[in-house]
């Protein structure tokens, strides 16, 4: 029978185990996807460790909010999709019961999109959540425009690298923030116009230096925490601060910059909106077709090594997404 990753109690990576379960027939409006690969996200770590933003029913909970594969079966009411179509799963709201850490899963047909031509399985698994989050935060929420300077924290991560590429696609100027000077060369190679390393630079001062004294038009922050107030000082007057994550779990300080527009972007709200999903898919497909957008993959694991994949995630300092092939 097909394999599924489950966990019965919150804890470290070792609580994950592989079991066998029969496939489930899709409901009339659903498709069943034979998973070829999925990505491991910080949200998965939070849920597994017992820090889920919503209650998770134990035992036998599942993980995984994104993946790619081939449609294996389609419900009677599904149109426009057929068995054998390669797809990307765009959202699994009930991931704790039918997450992507599996050989098969069922999802509403509205929650898959065609896999972009020319993108292999590994890159497809690494694409959607990171690039959708960066697209939604920068384009849909912040209104990023050509020539805007955008300051991107946690720039070495999946969302950060996606944001660098999307900014370049728009014609904006990406300024990458990292904790370590050693990562500067890699970030410049990834498309950053400038790199600000916090082990040497003051972020606000360095941002003003790179923007002719004005400050960033948009700040995209995946860290939050008590450093948020100081980070806000890097914005220009009338600028925008959009947060997309909480890598620092400590309480966030209140942004100190006057006249700053602040957004707390939660991608899951937009993932459930078909109109936003269509716009994002069109944008990302154009970027992939022209070669501007290309997912960064840190490391690939096999499904049998899912515990090691989570241990690797916990080490931090990744240079892209962790992908697990099935």
pLDDT along the chain (326 residues), means of 10: 97 98 97 98 93 88 97 97 97 92 96 93 96 97 98 93 98 96 94 96 97 98 94 96 89 86 90 88 95 94 98 88 96
Q: Contact, 245 vs 159, CB < 8 A?
A: yes
Is the CB of residue 295 less than 8 Å from the CB of residue 131?
A: yes
Dihedral over alpha carbons 47, 49, 51, 54 (to 10 degrees) = 30
The two tokens of residue 12 are 């470290």
pLDDT at residue 67 in the model:
97
Provide the CATH number for the domain formed by 130-268 in this structure: 3.40.50.720
Residue 41: C-alpha distances to residues 44, 86, 100, 151 (Å): 5, 22, 11, 22
| CA atoms of 128 and 89, how far apart (whole Å) | 8
Query: How high is the pLDDT of residue 110?
Result: 92
CATH match of 3-119+295-325 with 1.10.1740.10: no
Judge if pTM exceeds 0.85: yes
SS3 sequence of 63-123:
CCCCEEEEEEEECCCCCCCCCCCEEEECCCCCHHHHCCCECEEEEEHHHEEECCCCCCHHH
Q: Where are the domains of the chain?
A: 3-119+295-325, 130-268
Helix (H/G/I), strand (E/B), else coil: 136? helix
Please list the residues that pair with 262 across neighbouring strands: 241
Q: What's the pLDDT score for residue 317?
A: 76
Give the pLDDT score at 247.
81
């Amino acid at each position: 029978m097909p394999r599924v990753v489950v966990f019965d109690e919150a804890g470290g990576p070792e609580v994950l185990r592989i079991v066998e379960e029969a496939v489930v027939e899709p409901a009339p409006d659903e498709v069943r996807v034979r998973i070829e690969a999925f990505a491991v996200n910080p949200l998965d770590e939070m849920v597994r460790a017992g820090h889920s933003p919503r209650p998770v029913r134990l035992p036998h909970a599942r993980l995984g909010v994104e993946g790619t594969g081939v449609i294996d079966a389609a419900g009677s009411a599904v149109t426009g999709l057929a068995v054998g179509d390669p797809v990307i799963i765009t959202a699994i709201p009930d991931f704790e019961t039918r997450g992507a850490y599996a050989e098969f899963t069922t999802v509403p047909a509205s929650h898959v999109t065609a896999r972009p031509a020319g993108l292999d399985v590994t890159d497809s698994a690494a694409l959607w959540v990171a690039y959708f989050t960066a697209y939604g935060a920068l384009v849909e929420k912040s209104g990023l425009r050509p020539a805007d300077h955008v300051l991107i924290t946690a720039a070495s991560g999946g969302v950060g690298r996606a944001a660098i590429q999307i900014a370049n696609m728009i014609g904006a100027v990406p300024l990458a923030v990292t904790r370590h000077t050693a990562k500067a060369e890699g970030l410049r190679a990834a498309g950053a116009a400038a790199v600000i390393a916090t082990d040497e630079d003051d972020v606000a001062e360095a941002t003003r230096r790179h923007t002719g004294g004005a400050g960033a038009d948009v700040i995209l922050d995946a860290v939050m925490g008590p450093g948020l107030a100081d980070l806000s000082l890097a914005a220009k007057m009338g600028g925008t601060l959009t947060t997309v994550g909480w890598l620092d779990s400590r309480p966030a300080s209140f942004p100190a910059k006057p006249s700053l527009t602040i957004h707390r972007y939660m991608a899951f709200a937009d993932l459930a909106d078909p109109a936003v999903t269509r716009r994002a898919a069109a944008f990302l497909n154009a970027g992939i077709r022209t070669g501007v957008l290309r997912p960064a993959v840190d490391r690939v694991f096999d499904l049998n090594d899912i515990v090691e994949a989570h241990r690797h995630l916990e080490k931090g300092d990744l240079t892209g997404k962790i992908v697990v092939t099935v």
